[in-house]
Amino acid sequence: MNEVLDWLSRQAALMVASLADPVQLLALVSAAVAAALVIVSAFVKTMIPLRWLAVASNLGFIVYGLAHPAPLMVVLHAVLLPANLWRVGQMVRLTKRVHASVADSQQLEVWLRPYMRAKIYRAGQRVFGVGDVADRLYFVVTGTVELPEVGRTLQAGQMFGEIAFFAPDRRRSSSARCVTPCQLMSIDEDTFRQLVYQNPDFGLEVVRLIAGRLSADVMRLTRKTGDDAGSPPAAS
pLDDT in tens, 208-221: 767 776 676 677 66
Instruction: Tell me, yes or no, whether 67 and 134 share the same domain.
Output: no
Question: Residue 164 — pLDDT band, cuts 50, 70, 90?
Answer: confident
**Residue 87: its pLDDT value, please?**
84
Nearest to 159 by CA among 215, 210, 99, 104: 210
Tell whether 24 is covered by a domain.
yes
Q: Which of 70, 96, 122 is the last residue of a domain?
A: 96
Q: Please indicate, yes or no, whether residues 109 and 92 belong to a single structural domain of this protein.
A: no
Q: How far apart are CA 18 and CA 28, in angstroms?
A: 8
Q: How many domains does the chain have?
A: 2
Q: Among 39, 72, 96, identify where a domain stops.
A: 96
CB 183 within 8 A of CB 141: yes
Instruction: Please report, for the domain that includes residue 113, its CATH number.
Output: 2.60.120.10
- Do 92 and 112 belong to one domain? no
In a domain, 234, yes or no: no
* pTM for the full predicted model: 0.52
Q: Is residue 121 part of a domain?
A: yes
The span from the CA of 121 to the CA of 177, in Å, is 9
Domain-located, residue 232: no
Say which residue, 139 or 22, is predicted with more confidence.
139
Task: Judge whether 236 lies within some domain.
Answer: no
Most confident of 13-17, 90-94, 120-124, 205-209: 120-124
Identify the residue with better confidence: 227 or 189.
189
CA distance 124 to 162: 21
Inside any domain, residue 89: yes
Examine the domain organization and report whether 109 and 215 are in the same domain.
yes
CB distance 160 to 154 below 8 Å: yes
Same domain (yes/no): 61, 114: no
CB 22: neighbour CB atoms within 10 A? 10
Crossing angle of helices 71-103 and 189-198, rounded to 10°: 110
Q: CA-CA distance, 116 to 159, in Å (whole number)?
A: 13
DSSP sequence for 144-181? -EEEGGGTEEE-TT-EESHHHHHSTT-B-SS-EEESS-
Residue 139 is predicted with a pLDDT of 87
The answer on 209 and 118 residing in a single domain is yes
| DSSP type of residue 116 | -
86 and 131 share one domain: no
Question: Which residues make Cβ contacts (< 8 Å) with residue 63, sequence separation at least 6?
Answer: 26, 27, 30
Same domain, 149 and 181: yes
Band (pLDDT 50/70/90 cuts) for residue 236 is very low
Q: In this structure, are 125 and 216 located in the same domain? A: yes
Q: Is residue 125 part of a domain?
A: yes
In a domain, 59, yes or no: yes
152 and 194 inside one domain:
yes
* Domain carrying residue 149: 105-222
Q: Which of 52, 75, 96 is the last residue of a domain?
A: 96
Taking the C-alpha atoms of residue 84 and residue 126, their distance in angstroms, rounded to an integer, is: 42
Distance CA(202)–CA(66), nearest Å, equals: 38
Query: Each residue of 56-89: pLDDT tens digit?
Result: 999 999 998 888 788 898 999 999 999 999 888 8
Q: At CA 100, angle to CA 185 and CA 92, rounded to 5?
A: 85
